[in-house]
Amino acid sequence: MNMSRLFTLLGRQSGYQGVLPVGRVQTPTLRLVVDRDRSIADFVPAPFWAIDVKLLHDHQAFIAQWRAPSDACDDQDRCLNQPLAQQAADAMRHAASARLVKLRTERMREAAPLPFDLGTLQEICSKKLGLGAQETLDIAQSLYETHKVITYPRSDCGYLPNSQHGEAAGIITALGKADPALAGLLPHLDPQRRSRAWNDAKVTAHHGIIPTAAVRGVERLTGKPRAVYTLIRARYLAQFLPNHEYDRTQADFDCAGHALRAVGKQIVEPGWKRAMPEALAPAKGREAPAPQPLPALFQGCECAVADVILKDLWTQPPKPFTEGDLIKAMKNVAKLVEDPLLKQKLKDTTGIGTEATRAGIIQGLLDRGYLTKQGKALCATPAAFSLIDAVPRAIADPGTTAIWEQALDMVQSGEMSLEEFVAKQAAWMSKQVSRCVGMRMTISGPASPAGVAPPWKKKRKTAKRGAATSTKAANAATGTAAKKPRRAAKPTVKG
């Protein structure tokens, strides 16, 4: 409140008549988006090269990737040496086969994800359904209060009390009767199975969000509420299915003296992913591609070279935040703090805000014009850049607000008195205010200028340098190099 009054008055001295709210939660949250937008605006695409080799064995085709020498790669194993990549591609094009030099198969097991807490539900609904954080909360609240088909949604915990396991058989039966679409899944469910979700020691004030046995309102659900309910139900039913198991095979080849690697995945037991068919679907967009099945290979076998594809690529900028991404970043603030001591201290804490307040924080920044939405993506407005550059860095530091949250927890537990907490905060705030008195600042209008795209918008779909080349295609088409992105204009802040 003190900082909000101070910066609102400083803004009025420069002719800005709006309110400039500054808070220990909303300002660090805004800084997360500002920093991400700046990293996108400052990003300079760099070229790199990759080679896919199509191999054949027992009439089954699969893809192996070229493994460039480490001294020709960056820290993400991307080859930066175009002549080397071209030489490797040419050599492998003239090779008749690739010889398998190492084969390893490992059985992998994945446990079911926990039932949802509110933050994770908001994250997944943003990613899969395109819902905003506040919209997800409103829908979940309606499913709880109006339809009574889920448990309390404002939970920060995905675990369940052991006592709840006794209700599982009745809930599963009720869910099956309410929705015929579950008929194919029910035979695979084992109500006696006890997953890692049931753990009294890890349950906080409220347990994970799960469906209830009161299913008479389910048939009335349509559209977005139905989709959110289906996600919650699937996470719960996944607890009664086995682990997801698959064999991961890694095959290393030698082709004309160059190293290739093919990775295959063969599902052995779908397990809990039966409850979430989308988890078995191929990846889309910039996500890692789904592993391929490999033929029956053996050490020393020769695989025919069917095609060699030299790919001329560009590095990609960071993705802009979605509301779901921002919720996740607020929860896991420790990952964004550089100081190692502070990072360790912040692990396993509440992060920025609480499960019940994060959606409102984001919505407030949108309503005040500091954030705008472009599709699913959030972007900071000029006013946001100006404000973040003007406020003391400690105010906008996610680490600071997380430490305050810890201090409040200490007050709650009796480790620190309320008087001591207030005295420390008053002294700290007085110091920050004294630093800002007399500051001159210029704040831009809160809305993005009409027709001006956010900085990340100019970075999307970067053109490839050239078409991919293969032995079965014509010579590569020559592309034009991407221009260096224009740096976003920085706001004026005078001290």
Q: How does pLDDT run across 396-445, given as a tens digit for each residue?
A: 887 787 677 778 878 988 999 999 999 998 898 888 888 777 777 777 65
What does the pLDDT read at residue 486? 38
Regarding whether 306 and 249 lie in a shared domain, the answer is yes
216 part of a folded domain: yes
Average pLDDT, the chain: 85
Regarding whether 333 and 285 lie in a shared domain, the answer is no
β-pair type (97-110, 493-494): unpaired
Radius of gyration from C-alpha coordinates of the chain: 27
Inter-CA distances, 119 with 7, 268, 329, 489, Å: 31, 32, 10, 34
Regarding whether 210 and 198 lie in a shared domain, the answer is yes
In degrees rounded to 5, what are phi and psi of residue 248?
A: -100, 120
471 part of a folded domain: no
- Between 269 and 397, the more confident residue is 269
460 part of a folded domain: no
Cα 136 from Cα 295, distance rounded (Å): 44
134 part of a folded domain: yes
The confidence band for 348, taking pLDDT boundaries of 50, 70 and 90, is low
Inter-CA distances, 415 with 126, 218, 343, 400, 410, Å: 38, 46, 22, 19, 5
CB 396 within 8 A of CB 340: no
pLDDT tens, position by position, 31-74: 999 999 999 999 999 999 999 999 999 999 999 999 999 999 99
pLDDT tens, position by position, 20-30: 888 888 999 99
The confidence band for 206, taking pLDDT boundaries of 50, 70 and 90, is very high
Which residues is 251 bridged to in the sheet? 103, 262
Reduced to 3 states (helix: H, G, I; strand: E, B; else coil), residue 241 is coil
Asked if pLDDT for residue 481 goes beyond 80, the answer is no
Out of 152, 159, 246, 370, the active site residue is 152
What does the pLDDT read at residue 2? 78
Among the ranges given (13-17, 185-189, 480-484), the one the predictor scored with the smallest mean pLDDT: 480-484
Total residue count of the chain as it appears in this document: 495
Number of domains in the chain: 3
Asked if pLDDT for residue 336 goes beyond 90, the answer is no
- The enclosing domain of 210 has a CATH number of 1.10.290.10
Which residues is 4 bridged to in the sheet? none
Regarding whether 72 and 167 lie in a shared domain, the answer is no
Q: What is the mean predicted confidence (pLDDT) over 255-276?
A: 95
C-alpha angle with apex 86: 81 to 87, nearest 5 degrees? 100
Cα 262 from Cα 305, distance rounded (Å): 13
For 111-257, list the strands marked E by DSSP: 244-255
Regarding whether 253 and 230 lie in a shared domain, the answer is no
- The enclosing domain of 282 has a CATH number of 2.70.20.10
What does the pLDDT read at residue 287? 55
What does the pLDDT read at residue 149? 95
The confidence band for 104, taking pLDDT boundaries of 50, 70 and 90, is very high
Final residue in a domain of this structure, among 180, 206, 240: 240
What does the pLDDT read at residue 455? 55
Regarding whether 193 and 102 lie in a shared domain, the answer is no
What does the pLDDT read at residue 142? 96
What does the pLDDT read at residue 45? 95
What does the pLDDT read at residue 463? 43
CB 395 within 8 A of CB 22: yes
Q: What is the mean predicted confidence (pLDDT) over 95-117?
A: 97
Regarding whether 191 and 296 lie in a shared domain, the answer is no
Q: What is the mean predicted confidence (pLDDT) over 173-188?
A: 94
Regarding whether 261 and 294 lie in a shared domain, the answer is yes
Helix ranges (H only) for 21-167 are 26-41, 82-93, 118-129, 133-145
Among the ranges given (66-75, 200-209, 348-357, 377-386), the one the predictor scored with the smallest mean pLDDT: 348-357
Q: For residue 322, give its domain range.
A: 2-43+318-441
477 part of a folded domain: no
Regarding whether 229 and 148 lie in a shared domain, the answer is yes
Two tokens, residue 86: 């071209």
Among the ranges given (102-116, 392-406, 439-453), the one the predictor scored with the smallest mean pLDDT: 439-453
- The enclosing domain of 16 has a CATH number of 1.10.460.10
pTM of the model: 0.81
What does the pLDDT read at residue 97? 96
Q: Which residue has the tokens 């037991």?
A: 269
Percent of the chain past pLDDT 70, that is, above it, reads 84
In degrees rounded to 5, what are phi and psi of residue 175?
A: -65, -40
Instruction: Please indicate whether residue 152 is annotated as part of the active site.
Output: yes
Among the ranges given (77-91, 110-124, 163-177, 448-462), the one the predictor scored with the smallest mean pLDDT: 448-462
